[in-house]
């Protein structure tokens, strides 16, 4: 079945300001604040103002510099000072540390430290002003307009969709002090995209079922000219998606399969295939998870959420590519109808799979989605999935683990992560791991594999049996799912990562040596 909206949407307000904030809180009395930046000088305690801060300091006859000096020593990177009644037009002025002006790409950290410092500074300063009751924050561009907009909007947002309106925290409006620019607008678009993914992931599972997820995706993307087709269980049966449907058997919520098309390139160009894991709640099935922390499994559709968020940005930025996004949606639940450990199912490509553990379900739904992706003859295929707890053990939340059969594509993805601050790190898919998954006498492949080692690598090796033979990247985003309260500019909750990195990757593909459309 194809549908634009399955029933009324209440979780997403469609105007741009509400998309940025997802808050129904009543605005408090208007209060304006100004956020400026300052660099760390070479001398101990030296503070060097940005051009905007210099201008304000001149207008208040040097009092801003004097007050910072009194508050000293200096102004460290990521730290903030707030001052009152210094300027006739700004009741509250915050100055935030940007670190040294010479910051650039750090090879050891694999990140553009200047851009990341601006994101952190914008988020930190905006939160200080929010705590001071500011409703309108005038933010200077801090030398990187896009990053300033990203940091501010990402840093202020947190999920509060299930609180009563009167209990919600008001999220201030962020206004560019020097005026709108193309870079600032891009930063707003990218932060909106990630915040959308965060909202989808953090919404409780009873309010974000496969059907409701499909509603939200259609509601957001339809207005951007992106075509959303929602396939039902009968369609999946007709495609012989036995692997995907085996996961859905235990739930009373009907499974759905989203097929989303964005046509920004030439009609003759091959599409980029994006495949996202859409488990809207993962109990583990018959192989039941421990109760502690199970509520976090509302975010197990992080891959699907990031793709929907990324598509909003790709469409708004009019990136010249064609995309087909494929999202299998279901819950993984125990019941008398559920798949049992040891059951054997058949995937779309005819391979038989022994379901050794029903909590290794993400790879089962991705298997059929990847097979279907191959029918579009894509130029590049990228799948995103909160796939293995082992990835969190391996990399923590510092980076997304990626696996690929294309080094050029990995290099582009790595560069994208360095630019966005949301990094990736490549891991291997050796034949050793494939052997651990496929060396069985009675079936083609096992969903858990032999030996309790290399869980993330074995999962990637499983997917490789169903993925296109060329130009494929698997992104295991389990470690960056959340909830986490350590991130320098994201508040605690589901993180919506790596939405911005995916957009940057897609934008870098046209004209690259790794992309042949």
Contacts of 21 (CB under 8 A, 6+ apart): 156, 157, 171
**How far from the centroid of its chain's Cα atoms is residue 445's Cα?**
31
What DSSP line would sit under 84-137, residue for residue? Answer: EEEETTEEEEEEEE---TT--EETTTTEEHHHHHHHHHHHHHHHHHHHTT-SEE
**How far from the centroid of its chain's Cα atoms is residue 436's Cα?**
31
The CA distances from residue 324 to 91, 375, 394, in Å, are 50, 11, 31
Q: Which residue among 239, 240, 289, 450 is the active-site one?
A: 289
**Is 426 designated active site?**
no
Task: Describe the crossing of helices 210-222 and 302-316 by its angle, rounded to 10 degrees.
Answer: 10
Q: Judge contact between 400 and 480, C-beta under 8 A.
A: yes
Task: Describe the crossing of helices 145-156 and 182-202 by its angle, rounded to 10 degrees.
Answer: 30
Q: Judge contact between 90 and 139, C-beta under 8 A.
A: no
Element (H, E) at 278: strand 278-282
Backbone dihedral angles phi then psi of residue 349, each to the nearest 5 degrees: -90, 5
Question: Could you give the CA distance from residue 286 to residue 337 in angstroms, rounded to a whole number?
Answer: 10
Q: Which residue among 20, 363, 458, 500 is the active-site one?
A: 363
Question: Could you give the CA distance from residue 276 to residue 304 in angstroms, rounded to a whole number?
Answer: 4
Backbone dihedral angles phi then psi of residue 294, each to the nearest 5 degrees: -65, -30
Residue with tokens 């350590």: 486
Q: Judge contact between 343 and 364, C-beta under 8 A.
A: no
**Is 351 designated active site?**
no
Residues in the chain: 517
Q: Judge contact between 181 and 147, C-beta under 8 A.
A: no
Element (H, E) at 474: strand 472-476
Q: Where are the alpha helices (DSSP H) in 338-427?
A: 362-374, 389-395, 407-420
What DSSP line would sit under 426-449, residue for residue? Answer: E----HHHHHHHH--SSSSEESS-
Active site positions, annotated: 289, 363
């Amino acid at each position: 079945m194809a549908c634009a909206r399955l029933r009324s949407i209440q979780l997403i307000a469609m105007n741009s300001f509400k998309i940025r904030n997802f808050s129904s809180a009543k605005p408090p009395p208007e209060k304006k604040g100004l956020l400026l930046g300052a660099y760390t000088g070479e001398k101990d305690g030296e503070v060097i103002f940005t051009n905007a801060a210099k201008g304000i300091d001149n207008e208040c006859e040097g009092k801003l510099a004097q007050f910072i000096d009194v508050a000293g020593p200096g102004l460290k990177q990521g730290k903030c000072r707030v001052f009152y009644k210094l300027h006739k037009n700004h009741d509250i002025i915050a100055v935030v540390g940007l670190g040294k002006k010479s910051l650039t790409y750090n090879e050891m950290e694999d990140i553009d430290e200047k851009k990341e410092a601006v994101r952190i500074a914008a988020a930190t300063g905006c939160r200080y002003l929010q705590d001071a009751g500011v409703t309108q924050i005038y933010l200077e561009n801090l030398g990187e307009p896009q990053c300033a907009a990203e940091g501010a909007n990402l840093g202020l947002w947190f999920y509060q969709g299930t609180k009563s309106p009167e209990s919600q925290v008001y999220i201030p409006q962020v206004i560019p002090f020097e005026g709108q620019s193309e870079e600032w607008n891009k930063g707003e678009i990218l932060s909106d995209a990630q915040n959308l993914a965060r909202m989808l992931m953090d919404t409780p599972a009873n309010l974000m079922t496969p059907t409701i997820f499909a509603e939200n995706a259609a509601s957001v993307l339809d207005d951007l000219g992106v075509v959303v087709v929602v396939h039902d269980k009968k369609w999946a049966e007709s495609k012989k998606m036995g692997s995907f449907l085996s996961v859905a058997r235990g739930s009373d919520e009907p499974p759905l399969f989203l097929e989303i098309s964005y046509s920004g390139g030439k009609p003759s160009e091959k599409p980029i295939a994006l495949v996202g894991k859409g488990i809207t709640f993962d109990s583990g099935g018959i192989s039941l998870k421990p109760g502690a922390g199970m509520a976090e499994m509302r975010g197990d559709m992080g891959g699907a959420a990031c793709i929907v968020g990324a598509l909003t940005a790709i469409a708004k930025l009019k990136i010249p590519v064609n995309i087909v996004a494929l999202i299998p949606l279901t819950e993984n639940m125990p019941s008398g109808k559920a798949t049992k450990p040891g059951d054997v199912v058949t995937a779309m490509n005819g391979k038989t799979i022994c379901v050794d553990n029903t909590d290794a379900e993400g790879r089962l739904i991705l298997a059929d989605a990847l097979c279907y992706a191959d029918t579009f003859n894509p130029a590049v295929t990228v799948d995103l999935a909160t796939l293995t707890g082992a990835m969190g053990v391996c990399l923590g939340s510092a980076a997304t683990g990626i696996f690929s059969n294309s080094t050029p594509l990995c290099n582009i993805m790595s560069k994208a992560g360095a630019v966005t601050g949301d990094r990736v790190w490549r891991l291997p898919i050796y034949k050793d791991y494939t052997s651990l998954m496929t060396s069985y006498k009675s079936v083609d492949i096992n969903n858990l594999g032999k030996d309790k080692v290399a869980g993330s690598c074995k999962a990637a090796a499983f997917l490789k049996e169903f993925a296109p033979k060329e130009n494929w990247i698997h992104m295991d985003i389990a470690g960056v799912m959340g909830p986490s309260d350590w991130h320098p500019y994201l508040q605690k909750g589901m993180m919506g990562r790596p939405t911005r990195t995916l957009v940057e990757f897609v934008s870098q593909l046209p004209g690259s040596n790794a992309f042949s459309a």
